[in-house]
Chains A and B, each alone.
Chain A
Amino acid sequence: MDASAGLRRPYIPTSAMFLRPLLSVASLVAAGLCAAEPAYVPASDAQVLQRVPAASDPAVARVAALRARLASDPGSVRLADELARAYIDFGRKVGDAHYAGYAEAVIAPWTSRPDAPPAVLVTQATLLQYRHEFAKARSLLGKALAKEPGLAQASLSLATLDMVQGDYASAASRCSEVSRHGGVRLGLACAGSLRLYTGQAAQGIALLARIDGEGARTLGPWIEGLLAEGSERLGRFDDAETHHRRALALAPGDNFLLVAYADFLLDRGRAKEVLPLLADHVESDTAYLRLALAQSALHTPDASRYRWVMAARFAAYAQRGGELFGREEARFLLALAKDPEAALAAALRNWENQREPADARIVLEAALAARQPEAAAAVVDFVARSKLEDPRIDALVRAVKGTAP
């Protein structure tokens, strides 16, 4: 795609940038998308400028307490690892990547050493996984397992990477390792998750429902989220809604669960309900994308503003140096920038590295919209081999096959 062609339509310059990760930063700045409004002095002391984590939030207080303990005992690798994990969990909850950076800094004194403890290597691998640096994450997990072969957490992380990247045979053998060394509940969680990907969602749901006792209490929201996902895969939308709501009742404000429910609502043609659901979560980019999609679906007067802010946020990502944000980027390009060719290129690039059902779906949707069904051949083949069941993906595969030359 020619960048100059993009100038005719307002959103294309952004998509042109996405197609060219090596495009110079200067041209992004020149495009004006990363620019700030002119600086100003607020009129009143009472004006709220920014939402920040509230000290009164128990999760924030827990992190702060750990931070203070590590400050008084800076040589403790156990405390450092605990704080890093707390940052990762908190970042996940609120949907904020800053905490991955904070976690990285906390464990940095140990990760650079050749005798880094295996648990710290697993934490570092989690951070790399978070940034989609899957190969590096795998290598660290391999190192951790070489040092401590019974480290169930490392096997579980590898199983997760296998699931994210679509290698289900490998995930199955890792889940056996997890059961052997990590106990029944971890084994159930691993095996149950895996079955949601391989056309055995009903079994997966049954396995996840067997996680009991303390496991069910601490992991309630996560299990409910998976049960919702499994129910959607089976086309049981009423069940899915019940599980989505239960998950959010157990973990109010959790970004991951909110976004999953918002996607469910968007799929069900209930965009109007997305607006109040995510109104307090505009800081999270994944939540913001769903808000922008809902505004667009409802043709609200604010829709174009949301689209522009989303484009600017993506441009800021590109500006900080070619990180991957494939799935969301492709969805933005397809549904909001209305650029199916660019969306297809982004979706296929993402597919190289990430192969969850949502990644398959965006390739199929973009290929159809771009009238290039043959471009989705690898995904069609993957869906057939994995036996993935999902009514939305099944319909897309049928459409792609029907239109393929």
Chain B
Amino acid sequence: MKAFAAALSALLVASIAHAHSASDAYLTLTAASPQRTSAVIDAQWDIALRDLDFVLGLDDDGDGNLTWGEVRKHQAAIARYAYEHLRASGDGTPCSIEPARQAIADRADGAYAALFLRIVCRGAPRKVTIDYRLFFAVDPSHRGILVFRSIQGTATSLISPDNARIELRLD
């Protein structure tokens, strides 16, 4: 009978596409003015609290209401998880990613953890590559929306499992 119900669930699915947007995160990068010995990029990374709750279990009391207190308690875990899935390199040499503060950002579809960070690449590279793997292992339909601001203007990239490495030109 379970199979019967499962079979019928196929009938139900037709009409529910896009009942809710799939998972997005927003990585906004701003190039600092060029230095002779290093390249510095400041970033804000907005990650949906709903998505973080799925992988980390943030709602401690299980009441379905994620409070600031619960998020605050898990900030270290959020940072660990997020930064495990972000790498940067400048002209092939790894850059350092320096986590800074965390806050909250509200978007049309809910509240996001806003992670502030700085990417520092030694040797003044001309090209920085961002390697982004957040959530792909648990949700291949996740997308990262990367916005890069530099003196050249603003460039936007859509990050997916098939397009997880994004090159930013600094010159």
Contact residues of A with B, CB < 8 Å? 24-26, 29-30, 34, 36-42, 44-57, 85, 88-89, 91-92, 94-98, 100-102, 104-105, 108, 122, 126, 129-132, 152-153, 156-157, 160-161, 163-164, 182-183, 185-186, 189-190, 193, 214-215, 218-219, 222, 255-256, 259, 283-287, 309, 312-313, 316-317, 319-321, 323-325, 328, 356
Contact residues of B with A, CB < 8 Å? 1, 3-24, 26, 44, 46, 49-51, 53-54, 58-59, 62-69, 71-72, 103-112, 114, 116, 137-143, 145, 147, 154-158, 160
A214-B10 in contact given A130-B16, A285-B20 (Cβ < 8 Å): no
Residue of A40, A164, A259, A286 near B104 (CB, 8 A) is: A40
On chain A, the residues within 8 Å of B11 by CB distance are: 156, 160, 189-190, 193, 222
A102–B54 CA distance with the chains assembled, in angstroms:
10
A34, A42, A98 — which one has the most chain B CB atoms within 10 A of its CB?
A: A98
A interface secondary structure, majority: helix
B interface secondary structure, majority: mixed
A sample of 14 inter-chain contacts (CB < 8 A) reads A25-B145, A26-B155, A36-B46, A39-B44, A39-B105, A49-B71, A52-B58, A55-B64, A96-B20, A156-B11, A256-B15, A284-B20, A312-B107, A320-B21
On chain A, the residues within 8 Å of B50 by CB distance are: 50, 52, 98
On chain B, the residues within 8 Å of A25 by CB distance are: 145, 156-158
On chain B, the residues within 8 Å of A157 by CB distance are: 10
A130–B156 CA distance with the chains assembled, in angstroms:
28
On chain B, the residues within 8 Å of A105 by CB distance are: 137-140
On chain B, the residues within 8 Å of A215 by CB distance are: 1, 4
User: Are the CB atoms of A320 and B10 closer together than 8 Å?
Assistant: no
A26–B140 CA distance with the chains assembled, in angstroms:
23
B63 to chain A, nearest CB (A): 6
A162 to chain B, nearest CB (A): 11
Residue of B7, B19, B160 near A285 (CB, 8 A) is: B19
